[in-house]
Amino acid sequence: MRDIHREISEWLRHLGATVRIDAVGNLRALYPSGHASAPCLLIGSHLDTVPNAGAFDGVLGVVLAVALLQGLDGRRLPYAVEVVGFSEEEGVRFGVPFIGSRGLVGRVDVQLLETRDERGVSLREAIAAFGLNLSELADAEVRDNVFGYLEFHIEQGPVLENLGLPLAVVEAISGQSRLDLTFAGRANHAGTTPMDLRFDSVAGAAEWITTVEREARAVPGLVATVGSVETRPGATNVIAAETRVTLDVRHREDAVRMREVETLTNCAREVARRRGLSVNCSSRMAQKTVAMDPFLGAQIEEAIRKIGCKPHRMSSGAGHDAMILAEKVPSAMIFLRSPGGISHDPAETVAVEDVEKAIECGLHLLEQLASAPEFLTRTCRA
Ligand code: GLV
Ligand code: MN
Ligand code: MN
């Protein structure tokens, strides 16, 4: 993260921006307007990624923001632009996503700061170890003059490729819940313990995992994923005393997502009870479905038309920092086609022509907003 901060900061400083790293580790680069009291548009995405990731999820949106400033060629707009490179969007280290963007909406609370990673290091300790100062947390929050947030991101799915379109306007981002479940049984010898006298936490977790898949397939629009399984002590010849699994549940409708979290955790309890195990279910995060800003969405549509493309409207199954920013700032997203529909994998890619179109579209959008009284004189935030 330090290396990418250094690299991108250098590009941004050359373009006339003032760069800082805020107290939650977000890169913040302010490209001022001609007027001191001008409104401000945030443009960004995240700089972190998942293990064994592709090269575009997140960072492409930050690089596109840099490219837009470059496209301005030193010209000032009637509003300031702040480029944001968010930290910890994916939630890999602490199991909680959107940590950086929560800093901008004032939601880095004590509970979040006490969240610990696999090695027992708290978020508070990690922030200090990175050389950041939590007493400056308030300075990370968006100011009253921030009237919009814009995020470019690869679609991470097959929709645009199937339609033969390069760009889309995002209308809403689906809600998600993330949980940790720990199945506990009894460790014992793999060679001497008869099958009917075991309390095998792995077998219990495995039975439950197949139920998760079955349930998600049966409910239209539901996606549920067990992405991490860890056994303790984790040896070939030991029946595992403990199996820790993660659960990720998403649906466009919050009521369905919440009902399914309930169903799946009840099902884990039932499997554990039947097998003489215990299970502990704890919620890491629950995030509602969020609508994007209609005004900015319409402006993006117009910009996509200006470059000769058909604007498609779609919702996002992946989570994005825009869903957190939307709590305080009218927020919008532009998707770029994902060839092969692949993401969170090294095969993730994007077409150079689509990136060019995104830059062209973004520059039109910046111009449109420069002459849109609805944007320049916006007096209230989301
Ligand atoms: C972010 O990639 C997410 O998990 O939706
Ligand atoms: Mn991702
Ligand atoms: Mn992403």
> Which atom of ligand 1 lies at the shortest distance from residue 176's CA?
5
Query: Per residue in 201-260, pLDDT tens?
Result: 999 999 999 999 999 999 999 999 999 999 999 999 999 999 999 999 999 999 999 999
Fold of the CATH domain 175-286: Alpha-Beta Plaits (3.30.70)
Q: How far is the CA of 10 from the centre of ligand 2 (A)?
A: 25
Cα angle 209, 115, 92; round to 5? 55
DSSP structure string for 311-340: PEEEEESS--THHHHTTTS-EEEEEE--GG
Cis peptide before 233 (omega within 30 of 0): yes
Nearest 5°: CA angle at 274, between 270 and 278? 70
pTM for the model: 0.92
User: Is residue 329 predicted with pLDDT exceeding 60?
Assistant: yes
Range name among 67-71, 156-160, 341-345, 371-375 with the lowest pLDDT average: 371-375
Q: What is the pLDDT of residue 37?
A: 81
- Ligand 3 centre from 304 Cα, in Å? 22
* Reported confidence tier of residue 161, pLDDT bands at 50, 70, 90: very high
Residue 265 CA to residue 116 CA, distance in Å, equals 23
Q: Is 155 in the pocket of ligand 1 (CB under 6 A)?
A: no
Residue from 93, 320, 324, 333 to probe ligand 1 pocket by mutation (most atoms less than 8 Å from CB) = 320
Ligand 1 atom showing the smallest separation from residue 89 Cα: 1
- pLDDT at residue 378, rounded to an integer: 73
What is the pLDDT at residue 379?
A: 56
- Ligand 2 centroid–CA 62 distance in Å is 14
Give the per-residue pLDDT at 382: 53
Best mutation site among 344, 345, 348 for ligand 1 pocket (most ligand atoms within 8 Å of CB):
344
pLDDT tens track for 343-362:
999 999 999 999 999 999 99
Ligand 1 geometric centre to CA of 93 (Å): 13
Q: Which of 95, 137, 102 is nearest to 325 (CA)?
A: 102
Q: 309 falls in which pLDDT band (50, 70, 90)?
A: very high
Give the residues across from 230 on adjacent strands. 244
Does the domain at residues 2-174+289-376 carry the CATH identifier 3.40.630.10?
A: yes
Could you give the CA distance from residue 29 to residue 351 in angstroms, rounded to a whole number? Answer: 27
Q: Yes or no: say if 134 and 23 are a contact pair by the CB < 8 Å rule.
A: yes
d(CA 4, CA 10): 10
Q: Which residue lies with its CA nearest to atom 1 of ligand 1?
A: 319
Tokens of 116: 């610990």
| Helix locations, the chain, DSSP H | 2-14, 59-72, 99-104, 110-113, 123-129, 159-163, 201-218, 254-274, 294-306, 322-325, 352-370, 373-376
**Exposed/middle/buried for residue 347 (C-beta within 10 Å: 0-12, 13-18, 19+):** exposed
pLDDT in tens, 115-140: 999 999 999 999 999 999 999 999 99
What is the structure's pLDDT at 297?
97
Tokens of 82: 């702040």
Tell me, in angstroms, the distance from the centre of ligand 1 to residue 164's CA.
24
Distance 53 CA to ligand 1 centre (A): 12
Given CA atoms 296, 301, 307, 309 in this order, what sign does their dihedral have?
Answer: positive
- Between CA 350 and CA 346 the distance in angstroms is 12
Cβ contacts of 121 within 8 Å, gap of 6 or more: 129
Q: How confident is the model at residue 197 (pLDDT cuts 50, 70, 90)?
A: very high
Q: Is 318 in the pocket of ligand 1 (CB under 6 A)?
A: yes
Please tell me the distance between residue 326's alpha carbon and the centre of ligand 1 in angstroms. 17
Asked if residue 336 has pLDDT above 60, the reply is yes
Pocket of ligand 1 contains residue 319 by CB under 6 Å: yes
The residues spanned by each domain of the chain are 2-174+289-376, 175-286
H helices within 19-90, ranges in order?
Answer: 59-72
What is the predicted pLDDT for the residue at 376? 81
CA dist 297 to 91, 168, 186, 292, Å?
A: 27, 10, 55, 7
Tell me, using a 6 A CB cutoff, whether residue 157 lines ligand 1. Answer: no
Contacts 24+ apart (CB under 8 A), 261-265: 261/177, 261/179, 261/286, 263/215, 264/211, 264/212, 264/215, 264/224, 265/179, 265/181
Do residues 39 and 17 lie in contact, with contact meaning Cβ atoms separated by under 8 Å? no
pLDDT the model gives residue 141: 97
